[in-house]
């Protein structure tokens, strides 16, 4: 459950124990400049950003040079309204913010009655012009619909350019970075191990609870000391009740065959789960719409074992008695690799004796 008072408590807790934990903001920002039709700046204009899903409003005013900034915004869809005396109301619809997004929405006022609205559509940011970082963001719709073999986080990382898994371990490398030059966080709280910076804990496997997965591959802001940054944002309830019930089913017939394997991989897996979220509502006692929300999700896994492509063997009887002549090889000294210096050279034909 996410409420304003809960968020305040978390903030106080984080300040008190900041020496023992590392956290970064995940909030987004809307900024811009307000001008009229001639390009003259408009000061003291009221600018309001409204979260479409929760109804929460955040307000700011333009300064003497017409600039405004609305920070500390949760991820999601927003509507931006701007009002100034003697001008038509400016409305920007469908502004989509992601984690730590810095979105520029410039306001252009037109002379007229405030009852008249000038409406524009902002949409999602394709190229972030306010920062130099290179990022890739996947929302909950993509996380739920991409047909992958697993519901784990790692399968989605492989879809981003310049993100590769190290050849010798599970460390993820971002844009050619070293193994310890990445950082993982969920809702601003570190989930890295602090050694080679791989993620710890099972939270990365609960895709149904993710609202957003953001991968920063280079040019991070100063709050991060690493090249790569993986940020997970949890879902929150909205003003409407929503829920889901699913089973992510994987079978050999749904998998592509490895080109180096004679057959598809074996094993059947089920990942059932569900979720529910909405406003906190107690009939005749409390209506939490526009202020208090809850979200709950559950995921588990079931399935049969996966059999690997193995050809298990046991030593045949001649090998057990020291007869390797059937292999057609020469036994070499394990230290020098030369047959003529081998302590087994007195055994011709690759036949050893116990003496």
- On the question of pLDDT at 56 being above 90, the answer is yes
Average pLDDT over every residue of 96-117: 88
- On the question of pLDDT at 324 being above 80, the answer is no
Q: Residue 279: CA atoms inside 13 Å, Cβ hemisphere, count?
A: 15
Name the nearest CA neighbour of 58 among 17, 113, 95.
95
Neighbouring C-beta atoms of residue 15, cutoff 10 Å: 8
Concatenating the DSSP letter of every residue in 2-46 gives B-HHHHHHHHHHHHHTTTT--B----EEEEEEEE-TTS-B--S-E
Name the nearest CA neighbour of 295 among 224, 236, 228, 213.
236
> How many residues are present in the chain?
355
For 229-243, write each residue's pLDDT tens digit. 888 999 989 999 999
Query: Phi/psi of residue 295, each to 5°?
Result: -150, 135
Structure tokens belonging to residue 78: 């927003």
What end-to-end distance do the CA atoms of the chain give, in Å? 76
- On the question of pLDDT at 113 being above 90, the answer is no
Q: Say if CB 229 and CB 26 are below 8 A apart.
A: no
Average pLDDT over every residue of 131-140: 85
Contacts of 32 (CB under 8 A, 6+ apart): 67, 68, 104, 105, 106, 107
Residue ranges of the alpha helices (H) in the chain?
4-16, 140-145, 153-157, 317-320
Choice between 124 and 130, residue whose per-residue pLDDT is larger: 130
Q: Say if CB 94 and CB 50 are below 8 A apart.
A: no
Q: Residue 317: CA atoms inside 13 Å, Cβ hemisphere, count?
A: 0
CA atoms of 158 and 151, how far apart (whole Å): 13
CA atoms of 300 and 60, how far apart (whole Å): 44
Q: What is the structure's pLDDT at 311?
A: 62
Radius of gyration of the chain, Cα coordinates, nearest whole angstrom: 30
pTM: 0.69
- On the question of pLDDT at 110 being above 80, the answer is yes
Q: Is residue 129 classed as helix, strand or coil in its secondary structure?
A: coil
Res. 345 pLDDT band, cuts 50 70 90 = very low
Cα 245 off chain centre by: 22
For 3-16, write each residue's pLDDT tens digit. 443 333 433 334 44
Q: What is the structure's pLDDT at 274?
A: 93
Residue in this structure with the two tokens 């040079």, named with its chain if needed: 65
Concatenating the DSSP letter of every residue in 308-321 gives P--------HHHHT
Q: What does the mean pLDDT of the chain come to? A: 80
Of all residues in the chain, what percent carry a pLDDT higher than 90?
A: 32
For 60-91, write each residue's pLDDT tens digit. 999 999 999 999 999 899 999 999 999 999 99
Q: What is the structure's pLDDT at 52?
A: 93
Concatenating the DSSP letter of every residue in 51-99 gives ETTT--EEEEE--TTSEEEEEEEPSEEEEEEEE-TTBPEEEEEEEEE-T
- On the question of pLDDT at 216 being above 90, the answer is no
CA atoms of 60 and 35, how far apart (whole Å): 16
Q: What is the structure's pLDDT at 262?
A: 81
Name the nearest CA neighbour of 174 among 189, 147, 186, 192.
192
């Amino acid at each position: 459950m996410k409420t304003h008072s809960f968020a305040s408590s978390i903030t106080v807790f984080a300040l008190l124990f900041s020496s023992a934990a590392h956290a970064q903001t995940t909030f987004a920002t809307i900024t811009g400049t307000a001008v009229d039709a001639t390009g003259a700046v408009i000061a003291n204009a009221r600018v309001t950003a409204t979260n479409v899903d929760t109804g929460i409003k955040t307000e700011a005013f333009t300064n003497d040079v017409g600039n405004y900034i609305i920070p500390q915004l949760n991820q999601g869809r927003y509507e931006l309204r701007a009002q100034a005396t003697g001008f038509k109301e400016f409305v920007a619809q469908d502004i989509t913010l992601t984690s730590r997004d810095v979105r520029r929405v410039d306001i252009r006022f037109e002379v007229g009655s405030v009852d008249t609205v000038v409406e524009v559509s902002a949409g999602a940011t394709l190229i972030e012009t306010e920062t130099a970082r290179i990022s890739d963001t996947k929302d909950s719709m993509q996380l739920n619909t991409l047909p992958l073999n697993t519901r784990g986080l790692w399968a989605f990382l492989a879809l981003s350019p310049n993100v590769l898994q190290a050849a010798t371990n599970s460390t993820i490398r971002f844009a050619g970075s070293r193994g310890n030059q990445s950082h993982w966080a969920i809702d601003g709280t570190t989930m890295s191990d602090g050694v080679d910076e791989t993620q710890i804990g099972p939270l990365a496997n609960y895709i149904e609870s993710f609202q957003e997965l953001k991968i920063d591959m280079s040019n991070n802001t100063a709050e991060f000391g690493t090249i790569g940054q993986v940020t997970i944002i949890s879902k929150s309830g909205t003003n409407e009740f929503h829920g889901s019930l699913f089973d992510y089913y994987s079978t050999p017939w749904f998998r592509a065959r490895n080109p180096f394997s004679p057959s598809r991989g074996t094993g059947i897996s089920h990942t059932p789960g569900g979720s529910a979220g909405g406003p906190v509502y107690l009939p005749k006692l409390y209506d939490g719409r526009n202020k208090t929300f809850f979200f709950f999700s559950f995921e588990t896994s079931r399935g049969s074992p996966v059999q690997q492509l193995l050809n298990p063997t046991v030593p045949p009887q001649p090998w057990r008695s020291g007869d390797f002549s059937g292999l057609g090889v020469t036994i070499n000294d394990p230290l020098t690799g030369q047959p003529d210096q081998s302590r087994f050279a007195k055994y011709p034909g690759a036949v050893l004796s116990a003496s």
